[in-house]
Amino acid sequence: MKFVHIADMHFDAPFTSLNSRESLSDRRRLEQRSILKKVIEYIKENDIKYLFIAGDLYEHEYVRKSTIEYIINLFKEIPDTKIFITPGNHDPYIRNSYYKTYDWGKNVKIFDTYWIEKYEDDNFNIYGMAFTEFYMNRSPLEHIELDDKEKVNILITHCDLNGSKDSNGMSYNPILESKLNEIGFDYVAMGHIHKNNIDNKNRIYYPGSPISLGFDELGEHGMIVGDITKDTFSMEFVKLDDRQFEEIELKVDDLYSKEDLIEKISSLDFDDKKLYKINLIGKRNFEINTREILRILSVENVLKIKNSTTLAYDIEELSKQQNLKGMFIREVINMYEKGLCTEEEYQKAIEIGLEVM
């Protein structure tokens, strides 16, 4: 059987990391649509009979009805392809879920319960489960046994492979890889982690998100295309997202004003298809206001500037001077040592004070 495996599309995500540039988040949402269109066109052109969507197809909190209707209309273009959806923690199968309130079409199977469901065909069994709330602290896989190991057995699930609890003590369907291997699935189509793991040798795969959602999702994004029988298996990763998020480090040691910094950033070789975060490093010789720099900068695909620099001044030597600078620095150091200001406030105070003097 030939299949396409995607996950974590997150339709209508707010793209908060893009808000620094006007309309870019709106453009990114349009690109989400075009990427799903690419998936559907690939399925048509390559006669793919199965599409696995392993959760977080859309954002329950933000998605618009028009977006749901767009997705459903695309699914209607491939009536001979069976589509399997396992709702995740961002699109759970809850009371007011769009999975429940819309007709998704005869070719769409939506797993709608926490407990394992099974779809049977002559040559394979497909298992799946749904998030029925925004967390899933235990996995129903603990007691499952495959009914027919002569068939191809596939699991589609939104899960945290070998995962642990978050800072609130909650989990997202934690599943041990060793447990999956013990059960003996021939392929496990996962969602939840936005980076692919296509180097895994156990047929347990995250495709990653088809479209990058921010600077914590660097690298290429796309889908997994596979072909499986009981005796054979092949897969490839197909890139879908033409844009990439990229971080660049920029040393500021030889820069002495915001004008110098803006000119330096503007002179970099930027790719129009990429979105950039500039990480400033080294020792700074002037106060750096990243918001102001970003506002003035004319390079539209630079979205973030992070200041990771340290002061260029020799604070210890300056504090020994018997003049106004020395008195000022000693006073600031005294406040910092008493816990009256943070390290960032301490450095900022010295930087501004010395610049003024």
Share of the chain above pLDDT 90, in %: 65
Tell me the pLDDT band of 18, cut-offs 50, 70 and 90. low
- pLDDT at position 354 is 78
- What the block records as the tokens of 194 is 């936005």
pLDDT in tens, 305-325: 999 998 777 788 888 889 888
Nearest Cα to Cα of residue 313 among 287, 285, 288, 343: 285
Calpha distance 354→357 (Å, rounded): 5
Neighbouring C-beta atoms of residue 43, cutoff 10 Å:
23
pLDDT band of 201, cuts 50, 70, 90:
confident
Q: Is the pLDDT of residue 260 over 90?
A: yes
pLDDT band at residue 50 under the 50/70/90 scheme: very high
**Residue 175 DSSP symbol:** E
Return d(Cα 72, Cα 98) in angstroms, integer.
Answer: 11
The reported pTM is: 0.81
Question: Quick one: which H or E segment has residue 234?
Answer: strand 233-239
At residue 20, the pLDDT reads 61
pLDDT at 267: 94
Cα(108)–Cα(96) distance, integer angstroms: 19
Mean pLDDT across the stretch 110-119? 94
Percent over 70 (pLDDT), the chain: 96
pLDDT at residue 21 is higher than 70: no
Q: Indicate whether 57 pLDDT > 80.
A: yes
126-135, 152-161, 334-343: lowest mean pLDDT where? 334-343
User: Residue 344's pLDDT is what?
Assistant: 80
Instruction: Give yes or no for residue 22 having a pLDDT over 70.
Output: no
Residue 17: the pLDDT is 64
pLDDT at 95 over 80: yes
H or E stretch at 40: helix 24-45
CA contacts within 13 A on the Cβ side of 41: 7
pLDDT of 335 higher than 70:
yes
CA torsion 194→161→51→89, rounded to 10°? -70
**Angle (deg, nearest 10), helices 24-45 and 65-76:** 20
pLDDT at 19: 64
Question: If you average pLDDT over residues 272-277, what whole number do you get?
Answer: 90
- pLDDT range class, residue 269, cuts 50, 70, 90: very high
Q: pLDDT grade, residue 143 (50/70/90)?
A: confident
User: 83 with 189: CB under 8 angstroms?
Assistant: no
Q: Which of 263, 270, 306 is nearest to 288 (CA)?
A: 306
Whether 357 shows a pLDDT value over 80: the answer reads no
Each residue's pLDDT tens digit, 288-309: 999 999 999 988 889 899 999 9
- What would the mean pLDDT of 83-98 be, rounded to a whole number? 97
- The pLDDT mean for the chain works out to 91
Higher pLDDT, 69 or 19: 69
pLDDT at 89 over 90: yes
User: What pLDDT digit, counting tens, does each position of 215-225 carry?
Assistant: 888 889 999 99
Q: Which two tokens stand for residue 182?
A: 């013990």
d(CA 190, CA 156): 6
pLDDT value of residue 56? 97
Q: Please report the pLDDT score of residue 167 as a whole number.
A: 64
Give the architecture (CATH level 2) of 2-239.
Answer: 4-Layer Sandwich (3.60)
- pLDDT tens digits for 191-200? 999 999 999 8
| Predicted pLDDT of residue 316 | 83
Domain definitions of the chain by residue range = 2-239, 244-356
Q: Which residue did the predictor score with more confidence, 38 or 17?
A: 38
Instruction: Say yes or no to pLDDT of 226 above 70.
Output: yes
Q: Is the pLDDT of residue 230 over 80?
A: yes
